[in-house]
Amino acid sequence: MSVEANDRVGLTDAYATRVRADLERVDAEIVEVQARLKELAVDRALLSKLWENIFGESGPMSPVTEPGPAKAPQSPLPEEASAPKNGSGAGERRRPGGRRRGPLVRDVVLELLHEATEPVSVRDVHVALQSSPISPPGKVVVRNTLESLVAKGVARRCRDGQSVRYSVEQPQEPQTDS
């Protein structure tokens, strides 16, 4: 065999090895992307359910067909962000047509915290909301609502080992020098 033929065989083997490695790498990336897509589909389903629990309607959940520039999210219910125009119905959500929808989850959760004699868990609040006048939200909505109240300084979070319990933040009395 000539030197030139040996060089071609060696070069062909090198290319074959490189192409095989690239194919294996691409196959592995495809498997990773497919797994990530499954995770995103689960996240999307949870977010859709959360949207439905909060707003009582299916939200802007059209399937994504191709990547494009990100658009700023639009408020689906602009009337909810503003105060009631006639001063009545405070703490109630209104549908776009102006019909009352009932109390907000936040208001009912806050009422439950005020009624509680000791700190309560997310599960306690979730169970109590099953018999409330609102459509029962999921545990994630309850936890997020409680955390929102903590962030606003309305509620307090306390840990008991690995458990987290919530209570109403008591207003602090001003210290007076005696």
Q: Where are the domains of the chain?
A: 1-55, 102-168
How far is the CA of 50 from the CAs of 5, 31, 163, 172, in angstroms?
67, 29, 24, 35
Topology of the domain comprising 102-168: Arc Repressor Mutant, subunit A (1.10.10)
Write out the two tokens for 119: 């700190």
Provide the 3-class DSSP secondary structure of residue 27.
Answer: helix
The pTM of the whole model exceeds 0.85: no
Dihedral angle over CA of 131, 136, 138, 144, nearest 10: -90
Per-residue pLDDT of the chain (178 residues; tens, 9 = 90+): 566 767 777 888 888 899 999 999 999 999 989 998 988 888 888 888 888 888 777 666 555 544 444 444 444 444 444 444 444 445 555 556 555 567 788 888 888 888 888 999 999 989 988 888 778 888 999 999 999 999 998 899 998 888 899 998 876 666 665 5
> CB-based contacts of 53: which residues, under 8 Å, 6+ apart?
105, 135, 137, 138, 141
Q: Whose CA is closest to 109, among 54, 32, 173, 45?
A: 54
